[in-house]
Amino acid sequence: MTPVVRTVQDVAPAVVNIHTARIVEQEVNPFGTLFDDQLFRHFFGDQDLTRRFEQRSLGSGVIIDGRKNLVLTNAHVIEGASTIRVRLLDGRQYDGELVGSDPDFDLAVLHLKDARDLPQVAMGDSSDMMIGETVIAIGNPFGFGNTVTTGVVSAMGRTIETKQGTFTDFIQTDAAINPGNSGGPLMNLAGELVGINTAIYAEAQGIGFAIPINKARRVVDELVSLGRVQAVWLGLEGQDVDERIAGYLGLGEARGMVVTQVHEPAVEAAGIRPGDVIMSVGRVDVEDRGHYLRILRNYTLGQDAVLDVAGQGGRRTVTARMQPFTDEKALEMAAKRWGLTVQVRGRALAVAGVRPGSPAQQLGLKPGDVLVKIAGEAQASLTDFARAFKRYRMANTVMLLVARDGRGYHVRLRV
């Protein structure tokens, strides 16, 4: 009965299999490449070329609250799912209801319907983990039993870049983590949950990553109470560092973000001024303003960020607290920076007003135009629009899909 065996036996009942099904739509042309879709419709009428089929996937999760029937897993495990089925090690199965999910943190919380007498895992503290500490990764990828791998903590605070975005503050381990184990627990030898395993980094071989439980708990609190994670910011706007600015400040290389405006008094009081260059956030080097925004999506409300700032007085370290970035603030800023206001019209989002001389007017947008997509993200509500502005507010060019008189146009909004 080694510590690993004891931990696995204690935790195994709380590790679950998650089986999801999603409906995928795909256009099918019966003539292959002989006719394109438009030519097919010309000869054969407006027939429905869409075919729907069910796509299934498997993943893992862990019960974090047996009394409230809550399961924690990865967001990508349940992404797009139309049905979620959760199976326990003892054979019990329950329908899973999505409480909340956030792809920026790759975390999701499920509620098990009509479940009783559920086991749960003991929570640990990921802040006191040490390099070389033994950890155990547990998953339930097929629903018939758990899979277990062991390793050591290789590094803390790792940052990785994926197609899904920038993810910071990972636990790195050499314990093998495969896609079926994604969402399962990372345990210490005291039998405590210290991380949530994730398999989003497909390029990694012999390397596993886990989301620290201290970070996950902050996200869980917001998902359970609000159903989402509140957007945060430091109240800063900026631009990329060019060679001239880098030379003037003696930076050595053109990277970072030059602060052009400070909107939040609390951040201004921390000592950040226009003209300062944000070199790093939380020990993650900032490449440009887009990278700065991606890093901030790893933070939650009220969390402190340590910034490395360069200015005329040299380099300094500043600690600033994350502030709420409300939808109302985003709509107000969009009216100023992009020059347009929007309103919901039926099931669509339409342009309500265009400010004279603004980027929106120069583009030719008019009241009544329908905003279908912003940077590829569908728009149907003020929340959708606010979310898109928060993400692309500092971009010089934003791609829009606009509908006018029943026809769609891809246009570039240049700011």
Active site residues: 76, 106, 182
| Residue 257 in tokens | 């973000």
Instruction: Give the closest residue to 229 by CA, choosing from 104, 145, 333.
Output: 104
Label residue 143 left, alpha or beta by phi (over 0 means left) and psi (-120 to 50 means alpha). left
The three-state DSSP-derived secondary structure of 196-261 is EEECCCCCCCCCEEEEEHHHHHHHHHHHHHHCCCCCEECCEEEEECCHHHHHHHCCCCCCCEEEEE
As a whole number of angstroms, the distance between CA 111 and CA 72 comes to 9
Task: Read off the amino acid at residue 183.
Answer: G
Q: Kindly report the number of other CB atoms within 10 A of residue 95's CB atom.
A: 14
Residue positions counted in the chain: 415
Pairing state of beta strands 107-112 and 93-102? antiparallel
DSSP symbol at 14: G
Q: Where are the alpha helices (DSSP H) in 343-411?
A: 359-363, 382-392
Burial class of residue 252, CB neighbours in 10 A (0-12, 13-18, 19+): exposed
Are the CB atoms for 39 and 2 separated by under 8 Å? no
Q: How far from each other are the two terminal CA atoms of the chain, in whole angstroms? A: 64
Are the CB atoms for 380 and 350 separated by under 8 Å? no
3-state secondary structure of 359: helix
As a whole number of angstroms, the distance between CA 50 and CA 18 comes to 29
CA distances from 359 to 16, 89, 290, 364 (A): 51, 57, 20, 9
